[in-house]
Structure 1
Amino acid sequence: MKFDEFTIGDIYKTNEVITDKNDMMEYAEKYDPQYFHLDEEAAKESPFGSLIASGFYSMNAVWANFIRMDVLGRDCLGGLGIDEIKWKVPVRPNDTLVGEYTITDKRLLSDKQRGIVSLGVSIKNQEKQEVLTVKTKILLAV
C-alpha cells in the first residue's frame, strides 16, 4: 500500500503462527546459540524451566506472516530500523502467536515522493499474553 493509504490507528492482524520446536532450534543454532534455545535437558535447569524460542525467532516468524499479507507490497522502500524491542514472556514449542501491527504515526518527507510510517507491533500467544512488542519505521512510496 502507498503511504497515503495508511491512517494512524489502522490495525493489521496476522494469521496464527504455531512455533515449531525444530524450526526454533535450527534458528537458534544458526543465529542465537544459547543453551536454553538448543538443549532441552540444560534448558530445564534454566530460569525458564524448558526450551524457549529466541526472541528474534518469535519476532521474525510473525513478521514473515505479516509480509505475506502483502500490506506493504511493492510500495515498501525498506525498513528504517527498530526503535524498541521488548521481550515479555518466553515463547515455547507449539505456542500459537498472533501479531497486531498498528499504524502509530506517519510523516511525509520533504521530497513529497516518500513517507515514513511508524508501526507498533504486539505479538500475543494463545493465552492472550503479550510475548513481545516492537516499534519500527518503514519507508513507503507516496
Structure 2
Amino acid sequence: MKFSEFKAGMVVTHPPVVVSQEEMLSFAKAYDPQWFHTDVKRAEQGRWEGLIASGWLTCSLAMRMAVDAALHDSESFGSPGLEKLRWLLPVRPDDAIHLEATVDSVRISSSRDDLGIMRWTWRVFNQRKEQVLEVEATSLFELDNGK
C-alpha cells in the first residue's frame, strides 16, 4: 500500500500463519535459547506446561505479516521504534496466528514535507481468537511530493 492509502481507523489484516515446532526450536536456538523455548521435555514440566515460542519469533512473524499485508510496495523506509510491546499469551506449536493492524494516525512531518509518519497498533490472534501480541509501532515513509 502507498502512504496515501493509509487512513486513521482502517484495519489491515493478514491471514493465519501456522507456527511449527521446528520453526520455534530453530529460532529459539539461534536467538532466544531459554529452556522453555528449546527443551521440549523440560518445557512439559514447566510453568507453561509445554513448549512456547519466543516472543521475538512472534514479533518477527508479526513484522512479516505487516510487510506482506501493507508495507511491501510502500514508500516505508524504517521505524524510530515502538511505544508498547506486550506478549499477552504464549504461542504454541501448530498455532495459527493472524494479524489485525489498526492505523491510529497518519500525518506528514511538520518539519519535513517529504516524510510521512504512521502510527499503528498490531494485534496478533491465535486460532482461538485469543490475542497473543500487541505492538504500537511507528512507520516512516519517504514521500516524493513533486521533488
The two structures have a TM-score, normalised by structure 2, of 0.90
Alignment of 1:76 onto 2:76: yes
Tell me which residue corresponds to 2:128.
127
2:92 matched residue in structure 1: 92
CA distance in 1 between partners of 2:115 and 2:4 (Å):
10
1:70 offset after TM fit, Å? 4.5
Distance 1:70 1:132, change over 3 A: closer
- Cα-Cα RMSD: 1.4
Q: Any conservation in 2 of the 1:15–1:98 contact (CA below 8 Å)? A: yes
CA distance in 2, matches of 1:70, 1:121: 12
Work out the CA distance in 2 between the residues paired with 1:112 and 1:17.
Answer: 37
Residue 17 of structure 2 aligns with an amino acid whose one-letter code is: V
Letter of the 1:113 partner, please give it: D
In 1, Cα distance between equivalents of 2:72 and 2:127: 26
Residue 68 of structure 1 and its aligned partner are, at CA, apart by 2.1
Offset, 1:62:
2.8
Give the TM-score of the pair, scaled to structure 1. 0.93
- Report the residue type matching 1:108 in the other structure: I
* Residues in 1 aligned to 2:70 and 2:84: alpha-carbon distance in whole angstroms: 23
For structure 1, the residue ranges without an aligned partner over 5 or more in a row are none
Unmatched runs of 5 consecutive residues or more in structure 2? none
1:14-47 Cα distance to aligned partner (Å, 9 max, x none): 0211001011111000110000000011101211
Q: Which residue of 1 aligns with 2:116?
A: 115
- The change in CA–CA distance for 1:131 and 1:104 in structure 2 (over 3 A counts) is same
Matched letter for residue 43 of structure 1: A
